[in-house]
Amino acid sequence: MVNLSWSIHQILYHRLRRVALKPLKQFIKQHFLGMTRHHILLAWNVGVYVVALTVFGVAIWKSLVVGVLVFASTFIPYGFRTLLWFGVMLQMVLLAVWVHALPNPQEWPNALHNMLAWIRSPA
C-alpha cells in the first residue's frame, strides 16, 4: 500500500522493490543459495578470464576454452589461489583499459615500440 505522504522517490522505490527486486531475490535464493564461497569465487574468476581475454582481442571460442581450463585447473590443490590472484591482476588491467587509462590492446605493440624507441634514444 502506498502512503499518500510519500515522495515520488519513495513511491518509485517501493514499486521497484515489489516488481523487480523481490523476484530477483527469489531467483537468487532458488538457484544460488546452496553455493559456497569457493563456488562463487570460481564462477567469478572464470568470468573474469573469459571477458578479459575477449576484450584483449582473443577469439571468443579461445577465451571460452581458457575459461574451461581455468575451471578445471582450480581443482588442483595449488591452482585455485594462483589462478584467482592472476584473475584479479587481469581484472585490474581490464578496468584500466575500460576507463582508457591504458590504450586499446590492439595498439599495445605500437605503444611498446614507441616506448622502447624513446628509452633507447640518446638524451
Per-residue pLDDT tens digits for 27-41: 767 766 666 777 778
Q: Do 20 and 78 have their domain in common? A: no
Q: Do 30 and 57 have their domain in common? A: no
Q: Read off the pLDDT band of 1 (50, 70, 90).
A: low
**What confidence score (pLDDT) does residue 74 get?**
73
Q: Do 46 and 81 have their domain in common? A: yes
When mean pLDDT is compared across 28-32, 58-62, 101-105, 111-115, the lowest value belongs to: 28-32
Domain that holds residue 23: 1-34
Q: Do 5 and 45 have their domain in common? A: no
Q: Do 105 and 45 have their domain in common? A: yes
Predicted TM-score (pTM) of the model is 0.55
Which one has a higher pLDDT value, 30 or 63? 63
Q: How many domains does the chain have?
A: 2
As a whole number of angstroms, the distance between CA 23 and CA 68 comes to 31
- Reference 64, options 73, 76, 51; nearest CA is 51
As a whole number of angstroms, the distance between CA 88 and CA 109 comes to 23
As a whole number of angstroms, the distance between CA 107 and CA 65 comes to 25
